[in-house]
Amino acid sequence: MTVGVLGAGTMGSGIVQVAAQNGHPVVLVDLNEQILNKSKAQLEKIMNRLVEKGKITQEQAEQTQANVSYSQDIHDFKNCGIVIEAIIENLEIKSKVFCQIEQIVPKGCILASNTSSLSIASIGSALQEPSLTIGIHFFNPAPLMPLVEIIPAVQTSEETLKTARDLIDSWKKVTVLCKDTPGFIVNRVARPFYGEALRIYEEGIADFATIDWAMTSIGGFRMGPFTLMDYIGNDVNYTVTETVFTAFYFDPRYKPSFTQKRHAEAGYLGRKSGRGYFDYSEGAENPAPNEDALLGQQILDRILAMLINEAVDAVFLNIGSKEDIDLAMTKGVNYPKGLLCWADEIGLDVVLNRLEDLFHEYGEDRYRPSPLLRRMVRDNERFFG
């Protein structure tokens, strides 16, 4: 099957590498010749590095590069069996481009969106054959991150779903099935990791460094929330939060933070701009954390309770299976444990008590416990075992 990829940015280029390394002829289309050339040079550089490390042979590197053709014309998608778009997160643009591509590709070609939070049903609604639309959401960097969220829209046919999932599975990726709702699994369930950390900072409980220390040193997370937001980019992370918040009809659980908004407005975007919550300029010294064990545990308990509540609610609303939700959070954002498994370890009653304490203290709906959590505590149930 020939794979088409639209958009030669970081994500598009990563998807191209994965498909080409798995033996597919790939057509990469981008209107910007400079970005196309950069993508081609980057693939060559990555292949050379993999050869040097002994991960692949010179022959494999050359074959992977030979599998990719580069174009500025979407008409070159004419022989593709699937086209994956990885362009700007704008519903109108994605939908319009898909309508144009549909007129070019062979009958039965799957049109897949790599959107991280937009409605797949909306993207495919203007197509003549919306049953061929599906969400295939990779995580950055696509060649390294194992997780791919597969999102069928209400219009997606069983055949489209099976073909798309079988293809991604054949690329040795870990696939999880998600309902077509804002943020899917990962970008929905992960919101409190950022949002509650920002809230703790705004209340003056702890600074950026201390919150990050609590989550990494005590919680075992690979990166603290502020380091991770700086890595992702505050502009990108804020936009996803705002998109999810708006899409959920302004549910306070997903409320964006003015702290993050002001950082983005000031150009403090994170690593890419040299400064975010931390200073990344050469020789810069960032504040040391307050390594108070009691404070650190309180920070972890609060953020973790919110994360678990979000994961439980995702099960309650059939966003994904309990197995897929835990898999998504460990393989998609490298959490140390699946949140539902973690909840079993802590005790669902303990998690519920923490949430009820927060709810009573603040009187805010953002802390409301999931009805499923209440039911499971009442019935003395666990998620696993």
Residue 75 is among the residues annotated as catalytic for this protein: no
Candidate list 114, 137, 263, 370, residue with the active-site label: 137
Query: 339 CB contacts (<8 Å, ≥6 apart)?
Result: 189, 307, 308, 310, 311, 325, 326, 329
Candidate list 67, 114, 116, 237, residue with the active-site label: 116
Residue 90 is among the residues annotated as catalytic for this protein: no
Instruction: Kindly report the backbone phi and psi dihedral angles of residue 337, in degrees, each rounded to the nearest multiple of 5, phi listed first.
Output: -145, 160
Listed residue (187, 186, 218) closest to 302, CA to CA = 218
Candidate list 85, 102, 149, 196, residue with the active-site label: 149
Residue 116 is among the residues annotated as catalytic for this protein: yes
Show the tokens assigned to 216: 């990494």
Query: 13 CB contacts (<8 Å, ≥6 apart)?
Result: 28, 39, 42, 43
Residue 187 is among the residues annotated as catalytic for this protein: yes
Listed residue (103, 109, 112, 134) closest to 121, CA to CA = 134
Query: 144 CB contacts (<8 Å, ≥6 apart)?
Result: none
The CA distance from 144 to 50, in Å, is 13
Show the tokens assigned to 226: 């502020």
Q: Say if CB 114 and CB 38 are below 8 A apart.
A: no
Active site residues: 116, 137, 149, 187
